[in-house]
Structure 1
Amino acid sequence: MRLPSLSNIFRLGLKELKSLRADKTLMVLICWAFSGAIYTAATGVSQELHNAPIAIVDEDQSPLSSRIVDAFYPPFFRQPQMISLAELDAGMDAGRYNFTLVIPAHFQRDVQAGKVPDVQLNIDATIMSQAFIGATYIKSIALGEVNEYLTGRRDSAATPIKLTSRVRFNPNLNGFWFGGVMEVINNVTMLTIILVGAAFIREREHGTIEHLLVMPLTPLEIMMAKIWANGMIVLCGVTFALLVMVRQVLAVPIAGSIPLFLAAAACYLFAAASIGIFLGTLARSMPQFGLLLILSILPLLMLSGGVSPRESMPEMVQNIMLAAPTTYFVRLAQGILYRGAGIDGIWQDLLAMTGIGACFFFVALLRFRKAVTQTQV
């Protein structure tokens, strides 16, 4: 068995780049994934309260109730719509209001008398991302206005402790800071698997795999060529996304070293590309490959800690995902880009990710040899 030739790997990689350039569909996908997809993922799905429509039924018409009405304003809420009690159900049913607040008659008189009047808050719970946040905001605003009206202070009675909160890494709690960066991380996984796997399927469908078989090439050289060529495209896209889309367009500060992140991403590309080749050897056509992508990419993206914290998942799922390189890549990427971690803070995840990637590469190589042998027969 001869050693792999760097010259063969380089020339095969150039062939991969030319084939990719001729595939207009994949080129459009790559351009969109690292530009428009980053922007829409960051700004299109808001996890915080923003311009929530609210209606208020003010049956008291007192200075205190008017004070509460005036306390709701953008950017958290739209200007409150004053409605009657008879209009409440119809407005909620039609989805015109996410929240409706009912201030009862004699509200100010009861508050001043030391009573505890009931204020009804109706919530459209179909907006799960904002329902509980909005309820907390409304409660805080209403209590603050009542306390300030009665005592001149917005906070309630003195407590035995004073809790001072410090928000790290995202002081304004901007959701798009998280969404844009995580979309970059997720697209590294998605595009690497798609590009490398599709490249192998394309070889089979176009019949060029037979041309490679008559050349003095080894499966290792063919695999390495596909990995470096497609990996270089993804790394270029990631660099553009971080420097232009994330840092300039979205104005999201990057705390850590971009070169360190790109170096870690290059190691991860090795593992993700091996998964792509493995799936390519299992599939016999591009439609089959697409079905396998659904079964593999969705769990990798949803259960790796990028969408929700791993600690909130069942313990069995956490243990299973330890065998996926995506888990370690997401963790080290968040550490570098969000918290400014250095190599001393990510080396364990980097080592685990590279080791798992080597295992996937070995399995993919065995499958690749088998697929080549079957094609040759």
Structure 2
Amino acid sequence: MRTANILHLGIKELRSLLRDPMLMVLIVYSFSFSIYTAATAMPETLHKAPIAIVDEDRSQLSERIIDAFYPPFFAPPALIMQTEMDARMDAGLDTFAVNIPPDFQRDVLAGRSPAIQLNIDATRMSQAFTGNGYVQSIIGSEVSAFVQGYRTNVTPTVDLVLRSRFNPELNKKWFGGVMEIISSITMLSIVLTGAALIREREHGTVEHLLAMPVTPFEIMAAKVWAMALVVLVASACSLFFVVQGLLKVPIEGSIPLFLGGTALHLFATTSLGIFLGTLARTMPQFGLLLMLVLLPLQILSGSVTPRESMPGFVQAGMLVAPNTHFVMLAQAILYRGAGFEVVWPQFISLVLIGVALFTLSLARFRKTLATMA
């Protein structure tokens, strides 16, 4: 009887979700447009960076320097006057502004060391950090070639052979698409279960459930499996049609193994959503709680920055979060083709964390229902 109750209550949750257009739009957006835009807009490489050049020398050397900046790394340089440089950077029109001083070519040929001023908009961190080295290298190469009369290819003493494993193209889409799926899985699982509980409280259907011969365990288990199933199906479709189909990201490992780990992760995060739903009385309160919980989970789990770069106490503390283990197993399976013999510690960790969160949420849920009764 308990299994039948859980099944029928879960079907009721699915029907309620289908009648909520806003949540349906959120699910579709999170596993389609959001993943595509996050994968294609990751600012890790220099691409068409806006640059302006003040040419006060107007010499053959300055012309060579100007012509050396071209797509795809830089946009075609804008030739401006010195009086325009600060105003354009203040307006955010240029990330880089190069000022070539008068008599620059003459000073170079005379053996002096003239200075070229490079202004950088450091608020655009990714472009500023990468482009700084590009600009210095381009200018240095053009000046050296002009002085010597030819371009030299210096033979290195040691031949460094680069081998980029797991992403030989160094394609940012391969990283962004998968990591966005992980973030969407966590966010939607918490949102859907918490919203389902709060929606019943606001509509007054919780009292109807209390009058039925069902237990708090059955009510909570039904919400967990129904919302977890929705997110699991949506993530599988997104992985096949968006990541593999649209973005052309190769998946090295076993997708069924990844979905198995996703199911365990959803068991933990849906239980967490129930817990947050018992703390919040309204959807606005739930939204505030969600920001306090979701942002640390995503930022400190290793999906954005490597865990090794974080302080030791943060690394140790995040081991109790399901996201940390889910990111580890997802990267190992989807990127490196790892099997169960590699990721079994993460599977066990997700089981233990899920059981702990489910038990805690069930106790809180029973207390909430007791106060309502």
- Indicate the TM-score class for this superposition, using the shorter chain for normalisation: over 0.9
Q: Which residue of 1 aligns with 2:321?
A: 324
- Give the aligned partner of residue 61 of structure 1: 58
- CA positional deviation for 1:146: 3.4
In structure 1, the residue matched to 2:14 is 17
- Offset of residue 117 of structure 1: 2.9
Are the structure 2 counterparts of residues 343 and 115 from structure 1 closer, same or farther at C-alpha, using a change threshold of 3 Å?
farther
Does 2:184 correspond to 1:183? Answer: no
Q: Name the counterpart of 1:272.
A: 269
2:278 alignment partner, one of 281, 305, 317: 281
Structure 2 segments unaligned to the other structure (5+ residues): none
Distance 1:72 1:228 in 2: 56
Distance 1:190 1:248 in 2: 23
Q: Following the alignment from structure 1 to structure 2, what is the Cα–Cα distance between the partners of residues 307 and 154? A: 40
Report the counterpart of residue 100 of structure 1 in structure 2: 97
Alignment match, 1:46: 43
Q: How far apart are the structure 2 equivalents of 1:293 and 1:117?
A: 56
1:223-281 Cα offsets, whole Å, 9 max, x none, are 22111111111011111211111222222222222222111101100000110111112
For normalisation by structure 1, the TM-score amounts to 0.91
On the 8 A contact 1:196/1:273 being kept in 2, the answer is yes
1:119 to 104, 116, 120: 116
Whether the aligned pair in 2 keeps the contact of 1:193 and 1:272 (CA below 8 Å) is yes
* 1:364 matches 2:361: yes
Helix, strand or coil for the counterpart of 2:320? Answer: coil
- Contact 1:145–1:154 under 8 Å retained in 2: no
- Letter of the 2:31 partner, please give it: F
Identity over aligned pairs, percent: 57
Distance between the aligned counterparts of 1:89 and 1:20, measured in 2?
54
Structure 2 length normalisation: TM-score? 0.92
Q: Is the 8 A contact 2:85 2:97 kept in 1?
A: yes
Query: Is the CA contact (8 Å cut-off) linking 2:101 and 2:116 kept in structure 1?
Result: yes
Amino acid at match of 1:96: L
Q: For residue 314 of structure 1, report the CA deviation from its aligned partner.
A: 2.4
Question: Aligned in 2, Cα 1:228/1:106: closer, same or farther, shift over 3 Å?
Answer: same
Partner AA of 1:352 in structure 2: S
1:343 aligns with 2:330: no
Pairwise CA distance, 1:152: 3.9
Cα distance, 1:357 vs structure 2: 1.3
Contact 1:30 1:191 in 2 (8 A): yes
Q: In the alignment, which of 186, 189, 193 is matched to residue 192 of structure 1? A: 189
SS of 2:325's equivalent?
A: helix
> Which stretch shows the higher mean deviation, 119-128 or 146-155?
146-155
Cα gap change, 1:271/1:65 in structure 2, threshold over 3 Å: closer, same or farther? same
Q: Which runs of 5+ in 1 are unaligned?
A: none
C-alpha distance in structure 2 between counterparts of 1:153 and 1:350, whole Å: 56
Q: CA deviation at 1:112?
A: 4.5
The one-letter amino acid of 2:274's match is: I
How many Å separate the matches in 1 of 2:159 and 2:115?
Answer: 29
- Aligned amino acid, residue 201 of structure 2: R
Distance across 2 between alignment mates of 1:43 and 1:101: 29
Shift of residue 6, structure 1, vs aligned partner: 2.0
Shift of the 169–142 alpha-carbon distance from structure 1 to 2, 3 Å rule, reads: farther
Structure 2 Cα separation of the partners of residues 229 and 214 of structure 1: 22
Name the counterpart of 2:302: 305
More off after superposition, 182-191 vs 218-227:
218-227
The question of whether the paired residues in 1 share the 8 Å contact of 2:96 and 2:120 is answered with yes
Question: Quick check: 1:46–1:176 contact (8 Å CA) kept in 2?
Answer: no
Conserved 8 A contact 1:144-1:154: no
Contact 1:51 1:78 in 2 (8 A): yes
What is the CA–CA distance in structure 1 between the aligned matches of 2:152 and 2:25, rounded to whole Å? Answer: 54
Is the 2:43–2:127 contact (alpha carbons within 8 Å) kept by the matching residues of 1?
Answer: no
Q: Give the CA deviation at 1:38.
A: 1.3
Cα offset, 1:346, TM superposition:
1.4
Report the equivalent of 1:238: 235
Q: Secondary structure at the residue paired with 1:16?
A: helix
For residue 119 of structure 2, give the secondary structure of its aligned residue in structure 1: strand
Structure 1 residues 258 and 115, CA, compared in 2 at 3 Å: closer, same or farther? farther
1:135 is matched by which residue type in structure 2? N
Q: After the TM superposition, which of the residue ranges 227-236 and 249-258 deviates more from structure 2?
A: 249-258
Shift of 1:109: 4.3
Structure 2: which amino acid aligns with 1:178?
F
Matched AA of 1:188: I
Tell me the secondary structure at the aligned position of residue 322 of structure 1: helix
Q: Specify the alignment match of 1:174 in structure 2.
A: 171
Residue 175 of structure 1, CA deviation: 2.8
CA separation of 1:30 and 1:356: change in aligned 2, threshold 3 A: same
Which residue in the other structure is 2:81 paired with? Answer: 84
Which sits farther off after the overlay, 59-68 or 281-290? 59-68
In the aligned structure 2, how far is the partner of 1:106 from the partner of 1:342?
A: 64
Please tell me whether the aligned partners of residues 189 and 266 of structure 2 are also in contact (alpha carbons under 8 angstroms).
yes
C-alpha displacement of 1:153: 4.1
Checking the alignment, whether the CA contact within 8 Å between 2:268 and 2:353 is kept in structure 1 is: yes
Q: Which letter maps to 2:283?
A: M
Contact 1:271 1:353 in 2 (8 A): yes
